[in-house]
Amino acid sequence: VTFADIAAYTGFSKTTISRYFNNPDSITVENQEKIANALEVLDYKENKLARVMANGKTEMVGVIIPNLYMHYYSDMLDHIISTYEEYGYKFIVFAGNEDADVERRYIQELLAYKTEGLIILSHTLSSKELAEYHVPIVTIEREDEYVCSVNTDNYMGGVQAATVLAKSGCDILLHANADFPNTIPAYKRIQGFQDFCETNGLEHCIMIRNFGANFEENNAEIAKLLQEIEETYAEKKVGIFMPNDTHANILLNLIIRKYGTLPERYKIIGFDNSPVSREAIFPITTVGQQMDKIAQEAVELLSLQISERKKRRPKPLAAPIHKVLTPILIRRETTK
DNA sequence: TCCATGCGAGCTCCATTCGC
DNA sequence: GCGAATGGAGCTCGCATGGA
Protein backbone atom coordinates (compact mmCIF):
# COMPACT_ATOMS: atom_id res chain seq x y z
CA VAL A 1 0.00 0.00 0.00
CA THR A 2 1.54 3.31 -1.12
CA PHE A 3 0.54 6.97 -1.07
CA ALA A 4 -0.95 6.42 -4.50
CA ASP A 5 -3.23 3.68 -3.13
CA ILE A 6 -4.31 5.88 -0.23
CA ALA A 7 -4.94 8.77 -2.61
CA ALA A 8 -7.01 6.54 -4.88
CA TYR A 9 -9.02 5.15 -1.96
CA THR A 10 -9.77 8.51 -0.34
CA GLY A 11 -10.12 10.57 -3.50
CA PHE A 12 -7.42 13.00 -2.35
CA SER A 13 -4.17 13.62 -4.17
CA LYS A 14 -0.79 12.24 -3.21
CA THR A 15 0.09 15.74 -2.04
CA THR A 16 -2.69 15.76 0.53
CA ILE A 17 -1.66 12.32 1.78
CA SER A 18 1.90 13.57 2.16
CA ARG A 19 0.63 16.59 4.07
CA TYR A 20 -1.36 14.34 6.37
CA PHE A 21 1.90 12.74 7.50
CA ASN A 22 4.14 15.78 7.46
CA ASN A 23 1.96 18.77 8.14
CA PRO A 24 -1.42 17.50 9.35
CA ASP A 25 -2.55 20.95 10.51
CA SER A 26 -2.79 22.02 6.89
CA ILE A 27 -5.67 19.55 6.42
CA THR A 28 -9.14 19.79 7.96
CA VAL A 29 -9.87 17.54 10.92
CA GLU A 30 -12.63 15.88 8.90
CA ASN A 31 -10.23 14.96 6.11
CA GLN A 32 -7.59 13.86 8.57
CA GLU A 33 -10.12 11.38 9.92
CA LYS A 34 -10.93 10.16 6.41
CA ILE A 35 -7.27 9.52 5.68
CA ALA A 36 -6.69 7.92 9.09
CA ASN A 37 -9.60 5.59 8.40
CA ALA A 38 -8.17 4.68 4.98
CA LEU A 39 -4.81 3.85 6.56
CA GLU A 40 -6.55 1.43 8.89
CA VAL A 41 -8.71 -0.17 6.21
CA LEU A 42 -5.80 -0.54 3.78
CA ASP A 43 -3.43 -1.58 6.56
CA TYR A 44 -0.82 0.95 5.46
CA LYS A 45 2.73 0.36 6.71
CA GLU A 46 5.22 3.20 6.58
CA ASN A 47 7.95 2.73 3.95
CA LYS A 48 11.09 4.14 5.54
CA LEU A 49 13.26 3.25 2.54
CA ALA A 50 11.12 5.33 0.23
CA ARG A 51 11.25 8.23 2.66
CA VAL A 52 15.04 8.00 2.95
CA MET A 53 15.32 8.02 -0.84
CA ALA A 54 13.05 11.04 -1.10
CA ASN A 55 14.55 13.31 1.51
CA GLY A 56 17.91 11.82 2.39
CA LYS A 57 17.05 11.62 6.07
CA THR A 58 17.98 8.15 7.28
CA GLU A 59 17.50 9.02 10.97
CA MET A 60 20.48 6.76 11.55
CA VAL A 61 23.46 7.65 13.71
CA GLY A 62 26.73 5.71 13.81
CA VAL A 63 28.40 4.96 17.12
CA ILE A 64 31.98 3.79 17.47
CA ILE A 65 33.07 2.47 20.85
CA PRO A 66 36.42 0.90 21.72
CA ASN A 67 34.88 -2.32 23.08
CA LEU A 68 31.92 -3.73 24.93
CA TYR A 69 34.03 -5.35 27.61
CA MET A 70 34.35 -2.20 29.71
CA HIS A 71 31.13 -1.66 31.63
CA TYR A 72 31.37 2.09 31.00
CA TYR A 73 30.91 1.67 27.24
CA SER A 74 28.04 -0.79 27.44
CA ASP A 75 26.31 1.43 30.00
CA MET A 76 26.85 4.55 27.91
CA LEU A 77 25.57 2.73 24.83
CA ASP A 78 22.47 1.76 26.75
CA HIS A 79 21.81 5.43 27.55
CA ILE A 80 22.52 6.58 24.00
CA ILE A 81 20.08 4.03 22.62
CA SER A 82 17.49 5.19 25.14
CA THR A 83 17.43 8.65 23.54
CA TYR A 84 15.42 7.14 20.66
CA GLU A 85 12.16 8.04 22.37
CA GLU A 86 13.07 11.72 22.41
CA TYR A 87 15.08 12.16 19.22
CA GLY A 88 13.98 9.27 16.99
CA TYR A 89 17.50 8.33 15.90
CA LYS A 90 18.37 4.72 15.30
CA PHE A 91 21.94 3.60 15.97
CA ILE A 92 24.46 1.42 14.14
CA VAL A 93 27.24 0.44 16.53
CA PHE A 94 30.78 -0.72 15.80
CA ALA A 95 33.47 -1.72 18.30
CA GLY A 96 36.82 -0.54 16.95
CA ASN A 97 39.06 -2.50 19.32
CA GLU A 98 41.60 0.31 19.12
CA ASP A 99 42.60 -0.46 15.53
CA ALA A 100 42.78 2.79 13.54
CA ASP A 101 42.41 1.20 10.10
CA VAL A 102 39.46 -0.87 11.26
CA GLU A 103 37.78 2.25 12.67
CA ARG A 104 38.36 4.16 9.43
CA ARG A 105 36.70 1.29 7.54
CA TYR A 106 33.77 1.32 9.96
CA ILE A 107 33.31 5.06 9.50
CA GLN A 108 33.33 4.64 5.71
CA GLU A 109 30.73 1.92 6.10
CA LEU A 110 28.56 4.12 8.31
CA LEU A 111 28.81 7.04 5.90
CA ALA A 112 27.94 4.74 3.00
CA TYR A 113 24.71 3.97 4.85
CA LYS A 114 24.13 7.73 4.96
CA THR A 115 24.12 7.90 8.73
CA GLU A 116 23.32 11.48 9.61
CA GLY A 117 26.01 11.82 12.26
CA LEU A 118 28.57 9.99 14.37
CA ILE A 119 29.08 9.57 18.10
CA ILE A 120 32.66 8.57 18.81
CA LEU A 121 33.78 7.11 22.12
CA SER A 122 36.94 5.42 20.88
CA HIS A 123 40.29 7.16 21.26
CA THR A 124 42.04 5.82 18.19
CA LEU A 125 41.50 8.53 15.58
CA SER A 126 42.40 12.17 16.28
CA SER A 127 39.65 14.77 16.39
CA LYS A 128 41.40 16.53 13.51
CA GLU A 129 40.98 13.44 11.34
CA LEU A 130 37.37 13.04 12.47
CA ALA A 131 36.61 16.67 11.60
CA GLU A 132 37.85 16.07 8.06
CA TYR A 133 34.89 13.76 7.39
CA HIS A 134 32.72 16.92 7.43
CA VAL A 135 29.74 15.18 9.04
CA PRO A 136 28.06 16.01 12.35
CA ILE A 137 30.21 14.43 15.06
CA VAL A 138 30.12 14.40 18.84
CA THR A 139 32.76 12.70 20.94
CA ILE A 140 32.41 11.53 24.52
CA GLU A 141 35.29 11.45 27.01
CA ARG A 142 38.16 11.66 24.56
CA GLU A 143 40.42 14.16 22.78
CA ASP A 144 38.10 16.70 21.19
CA GLU A 145 39.98 19.79 19.95
CA TYR A 146 38.39 19.88 16.49
CA VAL A 147 34.94 18.38 17.12
CA CYS A 148 32.01 18.88 19.47
CA SER A 149 32.14 16.88 22.66
CA VAL A 150 30.55 16.00 25.97
CA ASN A 151 32.85 15.23 28.86
CA THR A 152 32.76 14.87 32.61
CA ASP A 153 34.70 17.35 34.72
CA ASN A 154 37.53 14.90 35.30
CA TYR A 155 39.57 17.32 37.40
CA MET A 156 36.74 17.63 39.88
CA GLY A 157 36.37 13.84 39.79
CA GLY A 158 40.01 13.44 40.77
CA VAL A 159 39.55 15.90 43.63
CA GLN A 160 36.39 14.14 44.82
CA ALA A 161 38.14 10.76 44.86
CA ALA A 162 41.13 12.08 46.79
CA THR A 163 38.81 13.85 49.26
CA VAL A 164 36.90 10.67 50.07
CA LEU A 165 40.06 8.63 50.55
CA ALA A 166 41.59 11.36 52.74
CA LYS A 167 38.45 11.49 54.89
CA SER A 168 38.58 7.70 55.24
CA GLY A 169 41.80 8.16 57.19
CA CYS A 170 44.15 6.60 54.63
CA ASP A 171 47.90 6.94 55.25
CA ILE A 172 48.74 6.81 51.56
CA LEU A 173 46.57 7.74 48.56
CA LEU A 174 47.20 5.90 45.29
CA HIS A 175 45.81 6.57 41.86
CA ALA A 176 46.32 3.93 39.21
CA ASN A 177 45.69 5.02 35.63
CA ALA A 178 46.95 4.72 32.09
CA ASP A 179 49.56 7.03 30.58
CA PHE A 180 47.23 9.55 28.95
CA PRO A 181 48.41 12.54 26.93
CA ASN A 182 47.20 15.82 28.41
CA THR A 183 44.64 16.23 25.61
CA ILE A 184 42.54 13.34 26.99
CA PRO A 185 39.92 14.35 29.60
CA ALA A 186 40.99 11.50 31.89
CA TYR A 187 44.41 13.14 32.21
CA LYS A 188 42.78 15.89 34.26
CA ARG A 189 41.55 13.22 36.67
CA ILE A 190 45.17 12.47 37.53
CA GLN A 191 45.89 16.19 37.84
CA GLY A 192 42.93 16.79 40.17
CA PHE A 193 43.94 13.89 42.39
CA GLN A 194 47.57 15.02 42.50
CA ASP A 195 46.78 18.71 43.12
CA PHE A 196 44.46 17.88 46.02
CA CYS A 197 47.08 15.65 47.65
CA GLU A 198 49.86 18.20 47.21
CA THR A 199 47.74 21.11 48.45
CA ASN A 200 46.75 19.17 51.57
CA GLY A 201 50.17 17.63 52.19
CA LEU A 202 48.91 14.06 51.73
CA GLU A 203 51.29 11.22 50.95
CA HIS A 204 50.36 9.93 47.52
CA CYS A 205 51.56 8.15 44.41
CA ILE A 206 50.40 8.04 40.80
CA MET A 207 50.83 4.54 39.40
CA ILE A 208 50.88 4.62 35.62
CA ARG A 209 50.08 1.24 34.12
CA ASN A 210 49.05 -0.29 30.82
CA PHE A 211 46.01 -2.31 31.85
CA GLY A 212 45.47 -4.01 28.49
CA ALA A 213 42.30 -4.40 26.49
CA ASN A 214 40.51 -7.43 27.90
CA PHE A 215 39.71 -9.11 31.20
CA GLU A 216 42.72 -11.43 31.19
CA GLU A 217 45.18 -8.59 30.60
CA ASN A 218 43.39 -6.34 33.12
CA ASN A 219 43.35 -9.06 35.75
CA ALA A 220 47.04 -9.87 35.32
CA GLU A 221 48.10 -6.21 35.47
CA ILE A 222 45.93 -5.40 38.48
CA ALA A 223 47.21 -8.51 40.28
CA LYS A 224 50.75 -7.17 39.78
CA LEU A 225 49.60 -3.77 40.99
CA LEU A 226 48.13 -5.26 44.16
CA GLN A 227 51.29 -7.21 44.83
CA GLU A 228 53.35 -4.04 44.48
CA ILE A 229 51.02 -2.15 46.83
CA GLU A 230 51.22 -4.93 49.42
CA GLU A 231 55.00 -4.97 49.29
CA THR A 232 55.48 -1.20 49.31
CA TYR A 233 52.79 -0.18 51.81
CA ALA A 234 52.59 -3.30 54.00
CA GLU A 235 51.73 -1.57 57.25
CA LYS A 236 49.74 1.35 55.93
CA LYS A 237 46.09 2.10 55.43
CA VAL A 238 45.87 2.47 51.64
CA GLY A 239 43.32 4.40 49.61
CA ILE A 240 43.23 3.30 45.97
CA PHE A 241 41.56 5.33 43.25
CA MET A 242 41.12 3.07 40.21
CA PRO A 243 40.63 4.46 36.67
CA ASN A 244 37.13 3.01 36.34
CA ASP A 245 34.63 0.72 38.05
CA THR A 246 35.53 -2.33 35.95
CA HIS A 247 39.12 -2.16 37.18
CA ALA A 248 38.03 -1.27 40.71
CA ASN A 249 35.88 -4.41 40.73
CA ILE A 250 38.76 -6.58 39.55
CA LEU A 251 40.96 -5.18 42.33
CA LEU A 252 38.19 -5.76 44.87
CA ASN A 253 37.80 -9.38 43.74
CA LEU A 254 41.55 -10.02 43.96
CA ILE A 255 41.66 -8.64 47.51
CA ILE A 256 38.61 -10.64 48.62
CA ARG A 257 40.03 -13.80 47.05
CA LYS A 258 43.17 -13.29 49.11
CA TYR A 259 41.68 -12.22 52.46
CA GLY A 260 38.11 -13.55 52.31
CA THR A 261 36.84 -10.00 52.86
CA LEU A 262 37.84 -6.40 52.23
CA PRO A 263 40.34 -5.63 55.00
CA GLU A 264 39.85 -2.39 56.92
CA ARG A 265 43.22 -1.13 55.69
CA TYR A 266 42.06 -1.01 52.05
CA LYS A 267 39.75 1.70 50.72
CA ILE A 268 38.76 1.57 47.06
CA ILE A 269 37.07 4.07 44.81
CA GLY A 270 36.24 3.69 41.16
CA PHE A 271 35.05 6.01 38.41
CA ASP A 272 31.95 6.09 36.18
CA ASN A 273 29.17 4.62 38.39
CA SER A 274 28.84 1.70 35.99
CA PRO A 275 26.34 -1.04 36.95
CA VAL A 276 29.25 -3.20 38.13
CA SER A 277 29.98 -0.72 40.93
CA ARG A 278 26.50 -1.37 42.37
CA GLU A 279 26.53 -5.10 41.66
CA ALA A 280 29.99 -5.82 43.16
CA ILE A 281 30.19 -8.13 46.18
CA PHE A 282 30.91 -4.97 48.22
CA PRO A 283 29.24 -2.11 46.36
CA ILE A 284 32.03 0.19 45.22
CA THR A 285 32.30 3.89 46.05
CA THR A 286 32.63 5.74 42.78
CA VAL A 287 32.92 9.12 41.13
CA GLY A 288 29.79 8.88 39.05
CA GLN A 289 29.56 10.17 35.52
CA GLN A 290 26.04 11.37 34.73
CA MET A 291 25.61 8.80 31.97
CA ASP A 292 22.03 9.68 31.14
CA LYS A 293 22.80 13.39 30.87
CA ILE A 294 25.99 12.79 28.87
CA ALA A 295 24.09 10.63 26.37
CA GLN A 296 21.26 13.15 26.19
CA GLU A 297 23.62 16.10 25.70
CA ALA A 298 25.59 14.19 23.04
CA VAL A 299 22.52 13.39 20.98
CA GLU A 300 21.19 16.92 21.47
CA LEU A 301 24.50 18.34 20.21
CA LEU A 302 24.46 15.97 17.26
CA SER A 303 20.84 16.80 16.50
CA LEU A 304 21.74 20.49 16.49
CA GLN A 305 24.41 19.93 13.84
CA ILE A 306 22.20 17.65 11.78
CA SER A 307 19.34 20.19 11.78
CA GLU A 308 21.69 22.96 10.71
CA ARG A 309 22.97 20.89 7.78
CA LYS A 310 19.43 20.39 6.52
CA LYS A 311 18.82 24.11 6.19
CA ARG A 312 18.98 25.68 2.77
CA ARG A 313 21.81 27.86 3.86
CA PRO A 314 23.51 25.98 6.68
CA LYS A 315 25.87 27.92 8.92
CA PRO A 316 28.67 25.70 10.16
CA LEU A 317 29.61 26.09 13.82
CA ALA A 318 32.17 28.84 14.31
CA ALA A 319 33.94 26.59 16.80
CA PRO A 320 33.26 23.15 18.26
CA ILE A 321 30.95 23.12 21.27
CA HIS A 322 32.34 21.38 24.34
CA LYS A 323 29.99 20.50 27.18
CA VAL A 324 31.33 19.52 30.58
CA LEU A 325 29.16 17.83 33.19
CA THR A 326 29.81 17.64 36.91
CA PRO A 327 30.65 14.23 38.40
CA ILE A 328 28.62 13.03 41.36
CA LEU A 329 30.34 11.24 44.22
CA ILE A 330 28.53 8.07 45.28
CA ARG A 331 29.64 6.65 48.63
CA ARG A 332 29.28 2.91 49.07
CA GLU A 333 30.86 0.17 51.16
CA THR A 334 34.45 0.21 49.87
CA THR A 335 35.30 3.49 51.63
CA LYS A 336 33.40 2.94 54.87
C1' DT B 1 29.37 0.26 -21.51
C1' DC B 2 25.75 3.39 -21.79
C1' DC B 3 21.23 4.85 -21.24
C1' DA B 4 16.37 4.62 -19.97
C1' DT B 5 13.26 3.25 -16.67
C1' DG B 6 11.06 2.19 -12.32
C1' DC B 7 10.59 2.20 -7.42
C1' DG B 8 7.87 5.53 -3.29
C1' DA B 9 7.59 9.60 -1.01
C1' DG B 10 8.83 14.52 -0.41
C1' DC B 11 8.75 18.93 -1.97
C1' DT B 12 7.93 23.25 -4.56
C1' DC B 13 5.33 26.14 -7.33
C1' DC B 14 1.28 27.53 -9.03
C1' DA B 15 -3.72 26.84 -9.87
C1' DT B 16 -8.25 26.03 -8.27
C1' DT B 17 -12.06 25.63 -5.10
C1' DC B 18 -14.68 26.86 -1.26
C1' DG B 19 -16.55 29.29 2.60
C1' DC B 20 -16.95 33.41 5.11
C1' DG C 1 -12.33 39.73 -2.12
C1' DC C 2 -9.65 37.16 0.84
C1' DG C 3 -7.47 33.35 2.99
C1' DA C 4 -7.43 28.55 3.86
C1' DA C 5 -7.59 24.08 1.95
C1' DT C 6 -6.59 21.20 -1.64
C1' DG C 7 -4.99 19.58 -6.28
C1' DG C 8 -1.66 18.68 -9.94
C1' DA C 9 2.61 18.62 -12.38
C1' DG C 10 7.16 17.83 -12.34
C1' DC C 11 11.26 17.02 -10.33
C1' DT C 12 14.40 14.71 -6.91
C1' DC C 13 16.81 11.05 -4.41
C1' DG C 14 20.15 6.15 -5.20
C1' DC C 15 20.23 2.02 -7.01
C1' DA C 16 18.98 -2.11 -9.74
C1' DT C 17 17.67 -3.86 -13.97
C1' DG C 18 17.31 -4.65 -18.70
C1' DG C 19 17.91 -3.57 -23.39
C1' DA C 20 20.61 -1.53 -27.09
Least confident range from A6-20, A79-93, A262-276: namely A6-20
Checking each nucleotide's C1' against the CA of A29, the nearest proves to be C5
Å separating the CA of residue A270 from the C1' of nucleotide C11: 59
> What would the mean pLDDT of A67-75 be, rounded to a whole number?
90
**Tens digit of each residue's pLDDT (9 = 90 or more) over A187-217:** 999 999 999 999 999 999 999 999 988 899 9
Hey, do A60-150+299-327 and A154-290+329-335 end up sharing a CATH topology, with the first three levels equal?
yes
The answer to whether the beta carbon of residue A26 comes closer than 7 angstroms to any atom of strand C is: yes
Least confident range from A44-53, A110-119, A195-204, A211-220: namely A44-53
**Tens digit of each residue's pLDDT (9 = 90 or more) over A167-179:** 999 999 999 999 8
Predicted TM-score (pTM) of the model is: 0.85
User: Cα dist. A287→A9, A78, A132, A156, A330 in Å?
Assistant: 60, 19, 34, 9, 6
Position A61 pLDDT exceeds 70: yes
Chain C positions under 7 Å from a protein CB? 5-10, 12-15
Å separating the CA of residue A330 from the C1' of nucleotide C17: 61
**DSSP letter assigned to residue A210:** -
The answer to whether the beta carbon of residue A8 comes closer than 7 angstroms to any atom of strand B is: no
Close Cβ partners of A158 (under 8 Å, ≥ 6 residues apart): A175, A188, A189, A190, A191, A192, A193, A194, A195, A196, A241
**Coil/strand/helix, residue A221:** helix
The answer to whether the beta carbon of residue A56 comes closer than 7 angstroms to any atom of strand C is: yes
Q: What is the pLDDT of residue A235?
A: 84
Average pLDDT taken over every residue of chain A: 89
Q: Where are the domains of chain A?
A: 3-46, 60-150+299-327, 154-290+329-335
**Tens digit of each residue's pLDDT (9 = 90 or more) over A72-82:** 999 999 999 99
Within residues 61-120 of protein chain A, the ones with CB less than 7 A from nucleic strand C are: 112
**Tens digit of each residue's pLDDT (9 = 90 or more) over A128-157:** 999 988 888 999 999 999 999 999 999 999
User: Cα dist. A54→A51, A58, A122, A199 in Å?
Assistant: 5, 10, 33, 61
Q: What is the pLDDT of residue A195?
A: 98
Grade residue A323 by pLDDT with cuts at 50, 70 and 90. Answer: very high
Within residues 46-65 of protein chain A, the ones with CB less than 7 A from nucleic strand B are: 46-47, 50-51, 53-55
A154-290+329-335 fold: Rossmann fold (3.40.50)
- A141: exposed, middle or buried (Cβ count in 10 Å: 0-12, 13-18, 19+): buried
A60-150+299-327 fold: Rossmann fold (3.40.50)
**Coil/strand/helix, residue A63:** strand
Output A106 or A255, whichever has higher pLDDT: A255
Q: What is the pLDDT of residue A253?
A: 97
**Coil/strand/helix, residue A76:** helix
Least confident range from A9-18, A65-74, A162-171, A184-193: namely A9-18
The answer to whether the beta carbon of residue A208 comes closer than 7 angstroms to any atom of strand B is: no
Domain A3-46 sits in CATH at 1.10.260
The answer to whether the beta carbon of residue A21 comes closer than 7 angstroms to any atom of strand B is: yes
User: Cα dist. A137→A71, A302, A306, A322 in Å?
Assistant: 23, 6, 9, 12
Taking C1' of C8 and every protein CA, the nearest residue is A13
Q: What is the pLDDT of residue A116?
A: 81
The answer to whether the beta carbon of residue A12 comes closer than 7 angstroms to any atom of strand C is: yes
